[in-house]
Chains A and B, each alone.
Chain A
Amino acid sequence: MFDDFFIRALIAGLGIALVTGPLGCFVVWRRLSYFGDTLAHSALLGVTLAYSFELNIALSVFIISSLIALILIQLQKKTNLPGDALLGLLAHSSLAVGLVVIGFLTFIRFDIMGLLFGDILAVTTDDLLIIWTGGAVILLVLKLIWKPLFASTVNYELAEAEGLNPDRAKAIFTILMAAVIAISIKMVGLLLITGMLIIPAAMARNISNSPQKMVLFSIIGGLLSVLLGLFSSLEFNTSSGPSIIMAALVLFILSLLNIKQSIKLKN
């Protein structure tokens, strides 16, 4: 019924949505959307290095993004610059370095649009393996650090005082962020990954009254976005990343209607 590439894209997208759902909730709760952008921008450098040294793209992106996160933590300690300025500095300089390196790699033909906005045709069977095993590991680790991470998101001092070690949870979460970007870059594209993290979570916030529900709705929202997005991408021949994000946006707008209705009901 469908072509193989489309089935692969579907399996890949659903796997990614399962992971971005819960992680996205933490991105919203901890106000990390710009941090996600920074890691995603640095992913371009990771991709170029992968091409230069014939490495696996996901692995290379993961290493570079983790490295950028480490540099950020060091800069936060050593300078007096505000956090958003440091994020901007790292996001744009790593993007610039990545683009310059691409300029030197004249012997390789790059699909820049595909890198920025995702390309469903590019998803291979190997990628599926990386997405699903990587995704499973990410979710497992997130489950293990859930308690300290969530507690310190609510209140750092409570978590620290009651012996939950929030600093370790935060460091591990940073690595998980780098990992989710690494596994989803081919599919969603580096300019739109943060959207995949934030928009379903934001939609879920509008319709949930407990953290567990928000995570659940965020996952469902992500899965629906991938389904809707990919089918319309096939139908209208649009890039996969923007199509998925647009579908997520539509769901978000619908969730706003839900808020209006519930306010009306209350009055």
Chain B
Amino acid sequence: MSSENSTLVKLNNAGFKQNDKWLVEGVSLTIKKGKIVTLIGPNGSGKSTTAKIALGIYKNIEGSVEKYTNKVGYVPQKISIDWTLPLRVYDFMLLTENIKDEAIDEALTLTGVIHLKNKNLGNLSGGEFQRVLIARAISKKPELLVLDEPVQGVDYTGEIALYELIKRISDTLNCGILLISHDLHTVMTATDHVVCLNGHVCCSGTPMDVAKNNEYKTLFGEQASQILSVYEHKHDHVHSDKGEIKKN
């Protein structure tokens, strides 16, 4: 394992309560430079809440968060832009930091939306907006990238390309990534560490460890076992006759 100073964020037994109801509790996890940590779990299991705890958006939390970086890029799950704001994609790219024009163009090109640079943000489609959100987060060259369902609404081929991009960014920028995804296939292939949530940490470990876990199997049922077979297939050439493989 890498040394202690590569740690970007550390959650110690963290939890958050709203209106006397625990949204999530007892979460411990560490995000290090160059590593991808993925949160999975059913709706309402506290994935976004955990991300917001890690980001310091929620203040009155149980447990503790240690944050060792301020260079953060965040792609939230839900974001609504108001029509009262005349905001172009270009203005949005400069929202939290003054970034050089070249860096803006580079990021927009990487996510495939450079042609929308001067368009009004309110006129974009869901998928286009999502690409802009990712471009904004990576253009800052952050040390910590928090991606909450980053490819929602993006077409299938785009989805794969964006996940590849995310993986590449984690390698080239050597930044830590906290990823929330519904796509178990991606999770199981591109992640260093998986945390399976269901109001608490139900299991965690390498994708392989989690895939074998019984609680994980109960949570995700049929899909989970399929993914396991895909995963095993990808990484163990002996079992080539097992089940069907989803083609990319």
Contacts and interface: CB of A to CB of B under 8 A. Distances in A.
B86 interface: yes
Given A150-B95, A151-B95, A211-B91, A162 B72 contact: yes
Contacts of A212: 91
A209 B120 contact: yes
Contact of B55 (A150, A161, A209): A161
Nearest to A213: B86
A210 B87 contact: yes
Interface stretch (A152-160, A182-190, A239-247, A251-259): A152-160
Contact of B56 (A158, A161, A205): A161
B interface majority secondary structure = loop
Contacts of A154: 81-82, 85, 87, 92, 95
A28 B74 contact: no
Contacts of B52: 157, 161
A80 to B, nearest CB: 12
Interface in B55-83: 55-57, 70, 72-74, 76, 79, 81-82
A82 interface: no
A162 B73 contact: yes
Given A153-B85, A154-B87, A160 B76 contact: no
A205 B95 contact: no
Nearest to A158: B74
A164 interface: yes
Interface residues of A, number: 25
B72 A205 contact: no
A214 interface: yes
A154 B92 CA distance: 9
Contacts of B96: 147, 151, 158-159, 162, 164
A160 to B, nearest CB: 5
B146 interface: yes
B84 A29 contact: yes
A161 B86 contact: no
A162 B79 contact: no
Contact of A205 (B70, B74, B86, B92): B86
Contacts of B92: 154
Interface in A223-261: none
B57 A205 contact: no
Nearest to B95: A151
Contacts of B140: 162
B20 interface: no
A162 B86 contact: no
Interface string B72-114: 1110100101101111101110011100000000000000000
A161 B74 contact: yes
A157 B72 contact: no
A158 B76 contact: yes
A205 B83 CA distance: 10
Which 6 pairs of residues, A with B, have the shortest CB-CB distance? A161-B55, A161-B74, A162-B96, A163-B70, A160-B57, A151-B95
Interface of A: 28-29, 31, 147, 150-151, 153-155, 157-164, 205, 208-214
